[in-house]
Amino acid sequence: MSELSFEQMLEDSLKTIRTGEVVDGTVISVKEDEAVLNIGYKSDGILTRSEYTNTANVDLRTLINVGDTMEVKVLKVNDGEGQVLLTYKRLAAEKGSKRLEEAFENKEVLTAKVAEVLAGGLSVVVDESRVFIPASLVSDVYEKDLAKYADQEIEFVISEFNPKRRRVIGDRKQLLVAKKAEAQKALFDKIAVGDVVEGTVKNVTDFGAFIDLGGADGLLHISEMSWGRIESPKKVFKVGEPVKAFIKDINGTKIALSMKFDDANPWKDADVKYAVGNVVEGKVARMTDFGAFVELAAGVDALLHVSQISKDHVEKPADVLSIGDVITAKIVDFNEEDKKISLSVKALTAAAEPAEVVEEADVADVDIDAVAAEVEE
């Protein structure tokens, strides 16, 4: 019992309390598993750990201090030993339930820490009242593992409130969807074709990379990653790294990106660099039975027809060339509009032997783009 004046003791002896009554109390002592409160009654109130919190094995001395005041509810006036049993968590839960009902009716956004990660979703606690957020309503994308949400504070709304069935459902997904829609609108209001934008690699596939532009994703197709040849986007980009590109096209909510900036276009001044008669050096990039494709620069390939490899008869390019070989050849045809260049090694030797003439028919009728497509297939 706490030390009280005679007048106070007399007043408390005349005071009555009832089970279910809400009273104010002051903590007069705290132990690991219970606290004693002066509730202005002839007997002090006992608040056990299990009636203070749902957290098991917590030391009440880390949560409650002597002198603290709190509102509690009377569970039992006489526990058999003349003491009054109190509860804090049940009163808090009742208040929490009322709080959740108001939040449900007002569509209020709540913030709470994830108390438990369950097989089918997340459990959060608002003023000692539990809210279940199903896995399907945790995010706007499928998430197989929810463990990352443990102990994290999240925002959500109450989408269903039925305390009689003890069914209080939270929804985080609709908030994310709404935020993304808002961010998407803001993005599309300020971007236009031709704009240079910065983003972050979100996902990489065999055909390209998806870039998060902060409101919408843009597709950077493999053919737009470089003026040069890209074998695999996964060898070039990693998730999370920054990317600078320009908007090539906008179609509805789809954004096409490109990194083929005009100032890096290898075909600029190509009519000078690759004029007919110029001698160039390149690397054999790929071969077919009728010729070899030689990379003169990143994004500039030329065809060395099998008939132009040597003055001697060559059955197949692979008989005399290998991928990666560096060769020197003369440009015998240049088509800037179609971006096609034809080479001849034989023409170099022909220059030393005036009597020999390069056969134009051997290099004129090959569609380089079509052939390249066949090789890639």
Whether 26 maps to a domain, the answer reads yes
**What pLDDT score was predicted for residue 199?**
95
**What pLDDT score was predicted for residue 191?**
95
Q: Are 71 and 12 found together in one domain?
A: yes
Whether 165 maps to a domain, the answer reads yes
Whether 181 maps to a domain, the answer reads no
Residues spanned by the domain of 65? 6-87
Whether 180 maps to a domain, the answer reads no
d(CA 296, CA 334): 13
| Domain of residue 124, CATH code | 2.40.50.140
Q: Are 275 and 245 found together in one domain?
A: no
Q: Which residues of the chain have pLDDT under 50?
A: 1-2, 355-364, 375
**What pLDDT score was predicted for residue 298?**
83
Q: Any bridge partners for residue 154, and if so which?
A: 112
Both tokens of 254, joined, read 């789809």
Q: Of 213, 235, 263, which residue is a domain's last?
A: 263
Cβ neighbours of 27 (radius 10 Å): 19
Whether 156 maps to a domain, the answer reads yes
d(CA 215, CA 212): 7
Q: Are 128 and 169 found together in one domain?
A: yes
**Amino acid type, 193:** V
Q: Of 87, 102, 134, which residue is a domain's last?
A: 87
Both tokens of 173, joined, read 């997904």
Q: Which of 66, 74, 64, 65 is nearest to 40 (CA)?
A: 74
Q: Are 122 and 206 found together in one domain?
A: no
Q: How many domains does the chain have?
A: 4
Which long-range CB contacts under 8 A does 228-231 form with residues at least 24 apart? Answer: 228/266, 228/295, 228/297, 228/298, 228/299, 229/285, 229/295, 229/298, 229/299, 229/301
Q: Are 13 and 79 found together in one domain?
A: yes
DSSP 222-253: GGGS-SS--S-GGGT--TT-EEEEEEEEEETT
Q: Are 280 and 360 found together in one domain?
A: yes
